[in-house]
Chain A
Amino acid sequence: AQTVTQSQPEMSVQEAETVTLSCTYDTSENNYYLFWYKQPPSRQMILVIRQEAYKQQNATENRFSVNFQKAAKSFSLKISDSQLGDTAMYFCAFMKPRGKGSEKLVFGKGTKLTVNP
Protein backbone atom coordinates (compact mmCIF):
# COMPACT_ATOMS: atom_id res chain seq x y z
CA ALA A 1 0.00 0.00 0.00
CA GLN A 2 1.10 3.51 -0.71
CA THR A 3 2.06 5.77 2.17
CA VAL A 4 2.77 9.49 2.31
CA THR A 5 4.91 11.04 5.02
CA GLN A 6 5.10 14.68 5.98
CA SER A 7 7.79 14.95 8.61
CA GLN A 8 7.13 18.55 9.67
CA PRO A 9 3.92 18.85 11.73
CA GLU A 10 4.35 22.61 12.04
CA MET A 11 6.43 25.30 10.40
CA SER A 12 6.59 29.05 10.46
CA VAL A 13 8.05 31.64 8.11
CA GLN A 14 8.31 35.39 7.95
CA GLU A 15 6.28 37.24 5.37
CA ALA A 16 8.12 37.61 2.03
CA GLU A 17 10.55 34.80 2.81
CA THR A 18 10.75 31.35 1.21
CA VAL A 19 9.76 28.10 2.90
CA THR A 20 9.96 24.47 1.83
CA LEU A 21 7.57 21.76 3.01
CA SER A 22 8.76 18.17 2.84
CA CYS A 23 6.91 15.13 1.58
CA THR A 24 8.11 11.60 0.94
CA TYR A 25 6.09 8.68 -0.29
CA ASP A 26 6.41 4.97 -0.71
CA THR A 27 5.19 3.13 -3.78
CA SER A 28 6.22 0.39 -6.17
CA GLU A 29 4.42 2.08 -9.05
CA ASN A 30 6.36 3.68 -11.87
CA ASN A 31 3.69 6.14 -12.85
CA TYR A 32 1.43 8.07 -10.49
CA TYR A 33 0.20 11.52 -9.57
CA LEU A 34 1.28 13.74 -6.70
CA PHE A 35 -0.58 16.71 -5.29
CA TRP A 36 -0.27 19.47 -2.73
CA TYR A 37 -3.52 20.69 -1.20
CA LYS A 38 -3.93 23.76 0.98
CA GLN A 39 -6.50 23.95 3.78
CA PRO A 40 -6.87 27.46 5.21
CA PRO A 41 -8.84 28.14 8.41
CA SER A 42 -12.01 28.17 6.29
CA ARG A 43 -11.48 24.35 5.97
CA GLN A 44 -11.82 24.44 2.20
CA MET A 45 -9.45 22.02 0.43
CA ILE A 46 -7.71 23.85 -2.41
CA LEU A 47 -5.41 22.28 -4.97
CA VAL A 48 -2.06 24.05 -5.00
CA ILE A 49 -0.09 22.02 -7.48
CA ARG A 50 -0.17 18.69 -9.34
CA GLN A 51 2.69 16.60 -10.69
CA GLU A 52 2.64 13.60 -13.01
CA ALA A 53 5.46 11.20 -12.22
CA TYR A 54 6.38 10.52 -15.83
CA LYS A 55 7.07 14.21 -16.39
CA GLN A 56 10.63 15.19 -15.56
CA GLN A 57 9.90 18.88 -15.30
CA ASN A 58 8.93 20.17 -11.88
CA ALA A 59 5.48 21.74 -11.74
CA THR A 60 5.13 25.42 -10.87
CA GLU A 61 2.13 27.64 -10.13
CA ASN A 62 3.05 31.26 -9.56
CA ARG A 63 4.83 31.41 -6.18
CA PHE A 64 4.48 27.67 -5.63
CA SER A 65 6.88 25.14 -7.07
CA VAL A 66 7.85 21.56 -6.34
CA ASN A 67 11.10 19.68 -6.22
CA PHE A 68 10.18 16.22 -7.49
CA GLN A 69 12.89 13.62 -6.95
CA LYS A 70 11.45 10.38 -8.30
CA ALA A 71 14.35 8.12 -7.33
CA ALA A 72 14.30 9.46 -3.79
CA LYS A 73 10.47 9.42 -3.72
CA SER A 74 10.46 12.99 -2.55
CA PHE A 75 7.99 15.75 -3.45
CA SER A 76 8.69 18.98 -1.57
CA LEU A 77 6.73 22.21 -1.97
CA LYS A 78 8.49 25.56 -2.09
CA ILE A 79 6.56 28.73 -1.39
CA SER A 80 8.34 31.90 -2.46
CA ASP A 81 7.55 35.40 -1.23
CA SER A 82 5.31 34.01 1.52
CA GLN A 83 2.12 35.92 2.17
CA LEU A 84 -0.16 36.03 5.21
CA GLY A 85 -2.82 34.28 3.14
CA ASP A 86 -0.53 31.27 2.79
CA THR A 87 -1.17 30.43 6.45
CA ALA A 88 -2.87 27.04 6.25
CA MET A 89 -2.53 23.32 6.68
CA TYR A 90 -0.79 21.76 3.68
CA PHE A 91 -1.38 18.18 2.64
CA CYS A 92 0.71 16.12 0.29
CA ALA A 93 -1.23 13.41 -1.56
CA PHE A 94 -0.59 10.48 -3.89
CA MET A 95 -2.78 8.76 -6.45
CA LYS A 96 -2.26 5.71 -8.63
CA PRO A 97 -3.19 6.12 -12.31
CA ARG A 98 -5.04 2.82 -12.67
CA GLY A 99 -6.04 -0.38 -10.95
CA LYS A 100 -7.03 -0.96 -7.36
CA GLY A 101 -6.17 2.12 -5.34
CA SER A 102 -6.55 4.53 -8.24
CA GLU A 103 -9.89 5.65 -6.87
CA LYS A 104 -8.47 7.49 -3.89
CA LEU A 105 -6.04 10.15 -2.80
CA VAL A 106 -3.63 8.93 -0.13
CA PHE A 107 -2.86 11.87 2.12
CA GLY A 108 -0.03 12.68 4.46
CA LYS A 109 -0.82 13.92 7.95
CA GLY A 110 -0.29 17.54 7.01
CA THR A 111 2.03 20.43 7.83
CA LYS A 112 0.62 23.46 9.57
CA LEU A 113 2.28 26.55 8.10
CA THR A 114 2.09 29.92 9.79
CA VAL A 115 3.24 33.05 7.99
CA ASN A 116 4.23 35.77 10.44
CA PRO A 117 4.03 39.48 9.64
Chain B
Amino acid sequence: EAQVTQNPRYLITVTGKKLTVTCSQNMNHEYMSWYRQDPGLGLRQIYYSMNVEVTDKGDVPEGYKVSRKEKRNFPLILESPSPNQTSLYFCASSPLVGAEAFFGQGTRLTVV
Protein backbone atom coordinates (compact mmCIF):
# COMPACT_ATOMS: atom_id res chain seq x y z
CA GLU B 1 0.00 0.00 0.00
CA ALA B 2 1.34 3.41 -1.01
CA GLN B 3 1.77 5.49 2.10
CA VAL B 4 3.67 8.02 4.15
CA THR B 5 4.42 6.79 7.66
CA GLN B 6 5.17 9.10 10.56
CA ASN B 7 6.23 8.09 14.04
CA PRO B 8 5.31 8.68 16.73
CA ARG B 9 1.69 9.79 16.40
CA TYR B 10 1.67 11.37 19.82
CA LEU B 11 4.57 12.72 21.83
CA ILE B 12 4.80 14.66 25.07
CA THR B 13 8.24 15.94 25.97
CA VAL B 14 9.97 18.51 28.15
CA THR B 15 11.63 21.72 27.09
CA GLY B 16 15.14 21.19 25.81
CA LYS B 17 15.04 17.43 25.31
CA LYS B 18 16.08 16.60 21.76
CA LEU B 19 13.61 14.59 19.73
CA THR B 20 13.19 13.20 16.24
CA VAL B 21 9.98 12.59 14.33
CA THR B 22 10.50 10.04 11.60
CA CYS B 23 8.90 10.07 8.16
CA SER B 24 9.14 7.37 5.53
CA GLN B 25 7.45 6.99 2.13
CA ASN B 26 7.32 3.90 -0.08
CA MET B 27 6.35 5.58 -3.36
CA ASN B 28 9.83 6.54 -4.55
CA HIS B 29 8.85 10.21 -4.45
CA GLU B 30 11.62 12.74 -4.91
CA TYR B 31 9.90 15.59 -3.14
CA MET B 32 9.22 15.56 0.62
CA SER B 33 8.14 18.26 3.02
CA TRP B 34 7.27 18.98 6.65
CA TYR B 35 4.35 21.16 7.74
CA ARG B 36 3.03 22.26 11.08
CA GLN B 37 -0.65 22.88 11.71
CA ASP B 38 -1.81 25.35 14.33
CA PRO B 39 -5.39 26.44 15.09
CA GLY B 40 -6.40 29.44 13.05
CA LEU B 41 -3.21 29.34 10.98
CA GLY B 42 -3.70 26.40 8.66
CA LEU B 43 -0.61 24.44 7.63
CA ARG B 44 2.76 26.09 7.17
CA GLN B 45 5.84 24.57 5.61
CA ILE B 46 8.85 24.02 7.87
CA TYR B 47 11.41 22.40 5.54
CA TYR B 48 11.40 20.62 2.23
CA SER B 49 13.65 18.37 0.17
CA MET B 50 13.74 18.07 -3.60
CA ASN B 51 15.95 14.97 -3.55
CA VAL B 52 18.59 13.11 -1.56
CA GLU B 53 20.97 15.54 0.19
CA VAL B 54 18.96 18.52 -1.10
CA THR B 55 17.03 20.35 1.61
CA ASP B 56 15.91 23.92 2.13
CA LYS B 57 13.98 26.09 4.56
CA GLY B 58 10.27 26.66 4.30
CA ASP B 59 8.30 29.45 5.94
CA VAL B 60 8.84 28.54 9.61
CA PRO B 61 12.22 26.74 9.92
CA GLU B 62 13.46 28.20 13.23
CA GLY B 63 14.14 25.53 15.83
CA TYR B 64 14.01 22.62 13.38
CA LYS B 65 16.48 20.54 11.40
CA VAL B 66 16.01 17.92 8.73
CA SER B 67 18.12 15.47 6.77
CA ARG B 68 17.62 13.45 3.57
CA LYS B 69 20.23 10.74 3.43
CA GLU B 70 17.94 8.26 1.71
CA LYS B 71 15.16 8.92 -0.74
CA ARG B 72 12.47 7.32 1.40
CA ASN B 73 13.26 8.96 4.76
CA PHE B 74 12.96 12.58 5.86
CA PRO B 75 13.23 12.95 9.65
CA LEU B 76 12.37 16.15 11.50
CA ILE B 77 14.71 17.00 14.36
CA LEU B 78 14.02 19.36 17.25
CA GLU B 79 17.37 19.91 18.93
CA SER B 80 15.99 21.88 21.88
CA PRO B 81 12.20 21.88 21.83
CA SER B 82 10.30 24.79 23.30
CA PRO B 83 6.61 25.14 24.21
CA ASN B 84 5.93 27.23 21.09
CA GLN B 85 6.71 24.12 19.05
CA THR B 86 3.67 22.40 20.47
CA SER B 87 1.74 21.62 17.31
CA LEU B 88 0.43 19.01 14.90
CA TYR B 89 3.11 18.00 12.40
CA PHE B 90 2.67 16.48 8.96
CA CYS B 91 5.13 14.94 6.59
CA ALA B 92 4.16 14.92 2.91
CA SER B 93 5.61 13.53 -0.30
CA SER B 94 4.84 13.92 -3.97
CA PRO B 95 6.40 12.72 -7.23
CA LEU B 96 6.69 16.20 -8.71
CA VAL B 97 5.57 19.79 -8.32
CA GLY B 98 1.84 20.26 -8.77
CA ALA B 99 1.01 16.62 -8.23
CA GLU B 100 -1.06 15.30 -5.37
CA ALA B 101 0.78 15.48 -2.07
CA PHE B 102 0.47 12.38 0.11
CA PHE B 103 0.40 13.13 3.82
CA GLY B 104 1.39 11.09 6.82
CA GLN B 105 -1.02 10.50 9.69
CA GLY B 106 0.29 13.46 11.67
CA THR B 107 2.26 13.73 14.91
CA ARG B 108 0.74 15.57 17.83
CA LEU B 109 3.65 17.07 19.77
CA THR B 110 3.30 18.70 23.17
CA VAL B 111 6.31 20.43 24.75
CA VAL B 112 5.92 21.24 28.45
Interface residues of A (CB under 8 A from B): 4, 33, 42-45, 47, 50, 52, 91, 95-98, 102-105, 107-110
A43-B88, A43-B105, A43-B106 as given contacts; A107 in contact with B42, CB under 8 Å: yes
In the assembled complex, how far is the CB of residue A52 from the closest CB belonging to chain B, in whole angstroms? 7
In the assembled complex, how far is the CB of residue A105 from the closest CB belonging to chain B, in whole angstroms? 6
Question: Which residues of chain B from 30 to 60 have any CB-CB distance to chain A below 8 Å in the complex?
Answer: 31, 33, 35, 40-45, 48, 50, 56, 58-59
A-B pairs with beta carbons under 8 A, tally: 56
- The answer on a CB contact under 8 Å between B56 and A103 is yes
In the assembled complex, how far is the CB of residue A49 from the closest CB belonging to chain B, in whole angstroms? 10
Kindly specify which of B19-27, B62-70, B74-82, B93-101 makes contact with the partner chain.
B93-101
CB-contact partner of A103 in B31, B40, B103, under 8 A: B31
In the assembled complex, how far is the CB of residue A35 from the closest CB belonging to chain B, in whole angstroms? 8
CB-contact partner of A44 in B100, B105, B108, under 8 A: B105
Interface residues of B (CB under 8 A from A): 31, 33, 35, 40-45, 48, 50, 56, 58-59, 88, 90, 92, 97-98, 100-101, 103, 105-106, 108
**Residue among B31, B35, B88, B101 facing the most chain A CB atoms (10 A cut-off):** B101
Q: Which residues of the partner chain B approach A102 to less than 8 Å between Cβ atoms? A: 97-98
The 6 closest A-B CB pairs, nearest first, are A45-B103, A107-B42, A104-B45, A43-B106, A107-B43, A109-B42
| Whole-angstrom CA separation of A110 from B41 in the bound complex | 8
**For the complex, would chain A's binding face be called helix, strand, loop or mixed by DSSP majority?**
loop
> Which single residue of chain A is at the shortest CB-CB distance from B58?
A104
- The answer on a CB contact under 8 Å between A105 and B98 is no
Q: Which residues of the partner chain A approach B97 to less than 8 Å between Cβ atoms? A: 95-98, 102-103
| Whole-angstrom CA separation of A52 from B100 in the bound complex | 12
- The answer on a CB contact under 8 Å between B101 and A47 is yes
CB-contact partner of A109 in B31, B35, B40, B103, under 8 A: B40
- The answer on a CB contact under 8 Å between A107 and B100 is no
